[in-house]
Homo-oligomer: A and B are copies of this chain.
Amino acid sequence: MKQIVTFGEIMMRLSPPLNYRLEQASALEVTYGGGDANVAASLACLGLPAAHVTCFPDHQLGRAATQQFRALGVDMRHVVYTPNTRLGLYFLEVGSALRASTIVYDRFESAFAKLDPAAFDWEEILKDAQWFHWTGITAAVSAAAAQACRDAIQVARRLGITVSADVNYRRNLWQYGQRAQDVMPGLTEGCDVVVCSEGDAEDLFGIQADADCDNSFECMAQKLMQRFPQIKQVMATRRQTQSASHERIQGMLVDAGQGYLETQFYDITPVVDRIGGGDAFIAGFVYGKLKLDSAQQALNFATAASALKHTIHGDVNLATVAEVEHIMAGNVTGRLLR
């Protein structure tokens, strides 16, 4: 089977144990993650061939991050290691009940932000691929990262590879002198599948559902597909966040052919780790598109996968296909499996 290739930054994540605050912690738990890399890793856990492309410093931390993803089965052959650079970091404080989890980012001037677009030979990288996935975060990090992303999309289009994106607008990240509103449309128009919330659509593309629209997500998605005709599927999760410890999620998809689809709501309490829930959703959808029979099934698989991710520590959804299917089949009471 041909590879799914993802591209983007991987950061070291440092968090106090349990619900401790950063100033209370005498040790920080460490794992590695990044929106696109999490997708690749989740896909590898689902048994699909996945590769991730990124840039690391050439010291122990780059090696450690590589090892984590390699362990999960991600092909890390195409990683570029650069001397005298740093690894992006983030510090996560996990909330509880009405106290929010908080993140302190320390990712500027990272090896990834300072990558050289010419260091990536996309023809070579994508020659055995069937799918390329990127996120809006990559475009936000630096002009160089955005350029590399643009190069990759271009090659993918030429090779007839499916392209997906999680447009994911994070206002604070865009600090290299270009506006997301100027950069993202050009990248988005090369995509076949897009994860985009209503907020992102408005912020990035100025697209809003009309006031009299019954289903604002559907209306937004239809407008988005009109604007970018290559896009055939727009999706998102609807979150009814009850507290830092309790989420309810539902999957939504607008398919160019079939219109609006949605799934049941999944109730997740307590939440073990909500980071990477969206990435698990995307990976689940890619799996579903490649392996299952219908868009509805793919959406169901994606949403069940995302729900499971909320019960797993770390950024990556370690669930297997059997586990996701177990949830899809309605087994949501967590009955002990001997």
User: Is the C-beta of A133 less than 8 angstroms from some C-beta in chain B?
Assistant: no
List which A288-338 residues lie within 8 A (CB) of chain B.
307-308, 310-314, 318, 323, 326-327, 331-338
Question: What chain B residues lie within 8 Å of A172 (beta carbons)?
Answer: 338
Contact check, A60 vs B21: say whether CB atoms are below 8 A apart. yes
Q: A67-B71, A334-B245 are in contact. Are A97 and B23 (CB under 8 A)?
A: no
Question: What chain B residues lie within 8 Å of A327 (beta carbons)?
Answer: 98
Bound-state Cα–Cα, A102 to B106, Å = 22
Segment of A124-132, A146-154, A218-226, A263-271 in the binding face: A263-271
Contact check, B19 vs A100: say whether CB atoms are below 8 A apart. no
Q: Of B21, B244, B268, which contacts A97 at CB under 8 A?
A: B268
Q: Of B14, B19, B334, which contacts A244 at CB under 8 A?
A: B334
Least Cβ–Cβ distance between A317 and chain B, in angstroms: 11
Contact check, B27 vs A60: say whether CB atoms are below 8 A apart. no
Bound-state Cα–Cα, A334 to B335, Å = 25
Question: What chain B residues lie within 8 Å of A332 (beta carbons)?
Answer: 98, 243
User: Is the C-beta of A95 less than 8 angstroms from some C-beta in chain B?
Assistant: yes
Question: What chain B residues lie within 8 Å of A30 (beta carbons)?
Answer: 25-28
Question: What chain B residues lie within 8 Å of A71 (beta carbons)?
Answer: 67-68, 70-71
Q: A245-B269, A311-B97 are in contact. Are A23 and B103 (CB under 8 A)?
A: no
User: Is the C-beta of A59 less than 8 angstroms from some C-beta in chain B?
Assistant: yes
Question: What chain B residues lie within 8 Å of A23 (beta carbons)?
Answer: 60, 63-64, 67, 318
Q: A14, A26, A102, A106 — which one has the most chain B CB atoms within 10 A of its CB?
A: A106
Contact check, A60 vs B91: say whether CB atoms are below 8 A apart. yes
Q: Of B269, B272, B337, which contacts A19 at CB under 8 A?
A: B272
Question: What chain B residues lie within 8 Å of A104 (beta carbons)?
Answer: 59-61
Least Cβ–Cβ distance between A299 and chain B, in angstroms: 17
Q: A71-B70, A338-B103 are in contact. Are A61 and B98 (CB under 8 A)?
A: no
User: Is the C-beta of A72 less than 8 angstroms from some C-beta in chain B?
Assistant: yes
Contact check, B19 vs A103: say whether CB atoms are below 8 A apart. no
Contact check, A312 vs B99: say whether CB atoms are below 8 A apart. yes
List which A154-171 residues lie within 8 A (CB) of chain B.
170
Q: A73-B70, A104-B60 are in contact. Are A98 and B336 (CB under 8 A)?
A: no
Interface flags for A102-123 (1: CB within 8 Å of B; 0: not) read 1111101100000000000000
Q: Taking CB as reference atom, which chain B residue is nearest A327?
A: B98
Residues of A within 8 A of B (CB): 14, 17-31, 59-61, 63-64, 67-68, 70-73, 86-87, 89, 91, 93, 95-106, 108-109, 170, 172, 241-246, 266-272, 274, 307-308, 310-314, 318, 323, 326-327, 331-338
Closest CB pairs A-B (n = 9): A244-B334, A71-B71, A23-B64, A99-B311, A67-B71, A98-B332, A22-B60, A96-B311, A102-B337
